Structure 1
């Protein structure tokens, strides 16, 4: 490696080192996920097994295994053999459900997000469904999803505009504890933004994802009304508004992969409630990187951290590395709307972010991006702080894998 190239890549390498320090992937199901001659060795009792090549198994598709499970409160586990699965997954049951991708990564303590400009993470289980709401070809974005978790169709619909679909008041809550480990969800309809194309939708449900990948270009992740989602050691790739919704998303020790720039990384909507809510998207101890060296050279200073879909938008980047692709001003207004959709309840903030994509002076001059103090960040530091029940009660974190959650959030690298 030439000295010039080493200097150019040094900020990236330092960002990776910080993001990967002092943690490992979840090992809660490491023995079950490990590749062995007896696939179900080390798995919870009555684990279902999905394989495209093992002729002795009952399930060749993941959705058929999901559909076989009763809608009760009994926990179920599904182990998925390595392979590429082309199907849409819908989870409507209320009881706990865990999807496990076969992988040696947990057993070896290998983090999934160990990626760079010219390297990528690939799980042994890949689920594809290439579909986009191009030119309103569907009545709703929800129909494009690779994986959708919600009690029924009405609950998962996105609707249109800043208020979205008016979900009926009597809609039940869905899965109380959905989990997925070491699975990639890919919606590669086109190699650019060509309409909303969900890799994941979570509405009226609690869902945790560990060492997973989510790949699309526009609207990659949708967290709908009353949806709670927790990401750990995940990669989320996109170009336009690829984290959006009404619910609550906490992303920890993960990587956001910039395939290009369009709109913003975050585009939250927010919902009025009778109680003080924490709806929003929170990115902590993570890294924001260009997807590859070619796009890295094109997007320098161009990618917005987010834009407010409505004036209740809330997103916070904390203790996170930003590469040179980030817009110096940080966040942007929503063009063509009154006051840019920014009001007294709009939160577009950073706290102790670092790297070549952070420009404190430009952010302060923007009058859009807020730089939080240690006191201002306190209400949003951990999953315990933000996740709540449908009626606003806290804490609501029993559904998060305890082997990786509740790690102390630093008060800031500078000690603020």
Structure 2
């Protein structure tokens, strides 16, 4: 059963992502359209609700439009969601927007603020823009775009927008490839997840930290960033200059590694931050870099709790050591080129 399922996933579903365009539903897909006809759905949430609650592999195809809703994917079998696009490799060509407005002030937890909440293993997103449009608040401003709890998850040429807590990479092995992630405060964060980020544009919108690793024990989990670009968002607030950091430690054993990163965003010269001045939380953290370049790090004066890796040390951090030696069986490698 496992072999036949894998053959179906990678032999029938993933090749659709290899084409230059995806403007028609893959065979067997559940279809979402703002002009839904018989057998189609007008919302993603209704399409997800229509899926059988079993271990079958399911695909959903969404036609262009902005869908204002909150969606939970929580079923036994894998789900792949495709957005209509004329260029599967370029997030700038995305035409499908999933938008919601919620914050911790009106929700029971960070997770429940999420516009899209994934709690299913082996899920994949292609060419979707996911937004939490809550905005900025002095307190309880946590507003998640994607809340991700599934293992062997992949996001490909997607865009994620919020201000605080944009991407909750909280549980399971996951990859984010050739996507766009925007926020200001702790906007890539989580407790127990391990995630590999490659070829992404990471955009800072205001003062704050890109990452907030909540790792609470000396386990194998980490966030590895390889060959990404860190920029200022096109509409960034003026307070971004000198007040942005690659990360701060939410958990006692926070672990984040950046390799071969081009940084044009005007970071603070320390590059890495304590959790709070009265609670540094840095005794057991591992914040590391290799080959960071660009004007954003030209005047870097890193603190003692930050580590600069040499080439042999950096070589130990790979997609395989991050998300598992079986990564090639579930990651769409097209997006690693």
> TM above 0.5, one fold?
yes
Q: Which of these residues, 229, 240, 250, is aligned with residue 185 of structure 2?
A: 240
Cross-structure match for 2:90: 111
Determine helix, strand or coil for the equivalent of 2:334: coil
Paired positions, count: 322
Cross-structure match for 2:17: 29
- Go from structure 1 to structure 2 and tell me whether the alpha carbon gap of 1:122 and 1:32 turns closer, same or farther (over 3 Å shift): closer
Greater relative contact order, per chain length (Cα 8 Å cut-off, separation 6+): 1
**Conservation of the 8 A alpha-carbon contact between 2:34 and 2:43:** yes
**Conservation of the 8 A alpha-carbon contact between 2:115 and 2:145:** yes
**Conservation of the 8 A alpha-carbon contact between 1:267 and 1:308:** yes
Residue by residue, what CA displacement relative to the aligned partner does 1:263-295 show, whole Å, maximum 9, x if unpaired? x1110011437xx51x12121111111112664
**Conservation of the 8 A alpha-carbon contact between 2:216 and 2:252:** no
Matched, 1:183 2:114: no
Q: Which of these residues, 159, 169, 173, is aligned with residue 228 of structure 1?
A: 173
CA distance in 1 between counterparts of 2:62 and 2:298 reads: 44
CA distance in 2 between counterparts of 1:320 and 1:396 reads: 22
**Structure 1 residue 317: deviation in Å?**
1.2
CA distance in 2 between counterparts of 1:308 and 1:293 reads: 27
Larger Cα-atom Rg = 1
CA distance in 2 between counterparts of 1:47 and 1:294 reads: 38
Residue by residue, what CA displacement relative to the aligned partner does 1:368-405 show, whole Å, maximum 9, x if unpaired? 3211111222232x2211114xxxxx444522113234
**Conservation of the 8 A alpha-carbon contact between 2:102 and 2:113:** yes
CA distance in 2 between counterparts of 1:111 and 1:254 reads: 11
Cross-structure match for 1:67: 49
**Conservation of the 8 A alpha-carbon contact between 1:332 and 1:368:** no
Residue by residue, what CA displacement relative to the aligned partner does 1:153-185 show, whole Å, maximum 9, x if unpaired? xxxxxxxxxxxxxxxxxxxxx42x111111000
Cross-structure match for 2:95: 124
Spell out the pairing of 1:247-262 with structure 2 (5 A cutoff).
247-262=193-208
**Conservation of the 8 A alpha-carbon contact between 1:311 and 1:342:** yes
Cross-structure match for 2:6: none
Matched, 1:292 2:234: yes
- CA-atom RMSD in angstroms: 2.3
**Conservation of the 8 A alpha-carbon contact between 1:28 and 1:403:** no
CA distance in 2 between counterparts of 1:397 and 1:272 reads: 28
Matched, 1:327 2:268: yes
Cross-structure match for 1:280: 222
Residue by residue, what CA displacement relative to the aligned partner does 1:301-349 show, whole Å, maximum 9, x if unpaired? 22011100122101111111111411111101111454x11123x1111
**Structure 1 residue 361: deviation in Å?**
5.2
CA distance in 2 between counterparts of 1:343 and 1:267 reads: 15
Q: Which of these residues, 301, 316, 333, is aligned with residue 379 of structure 1?
A: 316
Q: Which of these residues, 70, 73, 79, is aligned with residue 91 of structure 1?
A: 73
- Go from structure 1 to structure 2 and tell me whether the alpha carbon gap of 1:402 and 1:237 turns closer, same or farther (over 3 Å shift): same
- Go from structure 1 to structure 2 and tell me whether the alpha carbon gap of 1:193 and 1:81 turns closer, same or farther (over 3 Å shift): farther
CA distance in 2 between counterparts of 1:180 and 1:315 reads: 24
State TM-score, norm by structure 2.
0.88
State TM-score, norm by structure 1.
0.72
- Go from structure 1 to structure 2 and tell me whether the alpha carbon gap of 1:149 and 1:374 turns closer, same or farther (over 3 Å shift): same
**Structure 1 residue 57: deviation in Å?**
3.8
Spell out the pairing of 1:81-230 with structure 2 (5 A cutoff).
81-106=63-88, 111-112=90-91, 121=92, 123-134=94-105, 137-150=106-119, 174-175=120-121, 177-191=122-136, 195-225=141-171, 227-230=172-175
More strand by share: 2
Q: Which of these residues, 330, 343, 351, is aligned with residue 283 of structure 2?
A: 343
Determine helix, strand or coil for the equivalent of 1:379: coil
CA distance in 1 between counterparts of 2:28 and 2:20 reads: 12
